Amino acid sequence: MNKRTFIKTTLVGIAAIFVPHRSKALEYYPRPSDKKWAVLYSTWCGSARDAGVWISEGMDGIANVFDVRENPDLSRYDYVIVGGAIRAGRVSQEMQDYLSRNREILKTRLRGYFAVCGNMMQPVTPEVTARLIDKHLAVICGVTGIPSKVFLGRITFGLMEPDVREQMQKMPGIKEYDNLKRDECMAFGKEVLAATSKHKPT
C-alpha cells in the first residue's frame, strides 16, 4: 500500500467510526400485492410476534409485520391487522396508547383483531373473545364488525422479566407451555383476506 492509499484508507476508517449509522428496525419483506397490508403486534415474550408473522404467512406473506414499539406510520398501508399478548386482561400499555393515538389512521384501515393469551390453558370461548376483543381492543379502536381471533399462547419462564418470573413461579400449578398454533394463525390471515373482499367495517 502506498502512502497516499494508506492515508485515504485510514481517514475513511476514522470517519466510519464517528458517523452514526441509522439503526433500522427488523423489517419483514412482504411479497408483492395490489394492496399494502400491515400486521401490528405487541408482545412481552414473543408469542404475539410469532402469531403476527404467521398471520402474514397465511396471507402468502403480503403483510409487513411491526412491533408496536417501532411506532410505525401505518398511514402508508391500505389495510391493518392489530393484536397483542394479554397480561392482566389487557394488551400492553404501549399498544393501548398507540391505538388511541392512531385512531383516525386506523379507522378506515382496520381489517382484523387478534389477542394471544394463556386462558389458564383452557379452550377459548366466545366469552373470552368478547372480553379481549369486543370489550377491549374494539373499544379502544372504535371499529367493530371485522374478523377477530383469540389464540392460546406460551409461557416461557426464561423470557420473562426477573420479577415477573419470580411471581409466576410462585403461583401454584403454573408450568411452561406452548399452545400457539401456526396453522390457526395462518387460517386467521386467510380469513381476514377473504372477509376484506366481502365486508366493509362499521
- State the residue number with the nearest CB to ligand FMN: 153
Residue 46 binding ligand FMN, by CB under 6 A: yes
DSSP 87: B
Sheet holding 63-67, edge to edge: 63-67, 37-42, 79-85, 110-117, 148-152
Helices (H), the chain: 3-18, 47-58, 93-101, 103-107, 126-129, 138-141, 162-170, 182-196
Member of 38, 39, 48, 146 binding ligand FMN (CB under 6 A): 48
Report the nearest approach of ligand FMN to the CB of residue 186 (Å). Answer: 17
Q: Which of residues 83-102 bind ligand FMN (CB under 6 A)?
A: 85-89
Q: Which is nearer to ligand FMN, 28 or 44 (CB)?
A: 44
Separation between Cα atoms, residue 85 and residue 68, nearest integer Å: 12
Residue 44 binding ligand FMN, by CB under 6 A: yes
Q: With CB under 6 A as the contact rule, which of the stretches 13-21, 46-54, 181-189, 193-201 interacts with ligand FMN?
A: 46-54
Residue 119 binding ligand FMN, by CB under 6 A: yes
Separation between Cα atoms, residue 148 and residue 145, nearest integer Å: 9
Q: With CB under 6 A as the contact rule, which of the stretches 11-19, 52-60, 140-148, 150-158 interacts with ligand FMN?
A: 150-158
Cell match 408482545: residue?
A: 43
Question: How many distinct helices (H) and strands (E) make up the chain?
Answer: 8, 7
Member of 39, 45, 65, 137 binding ligand FMN (CB under 6 A): 45
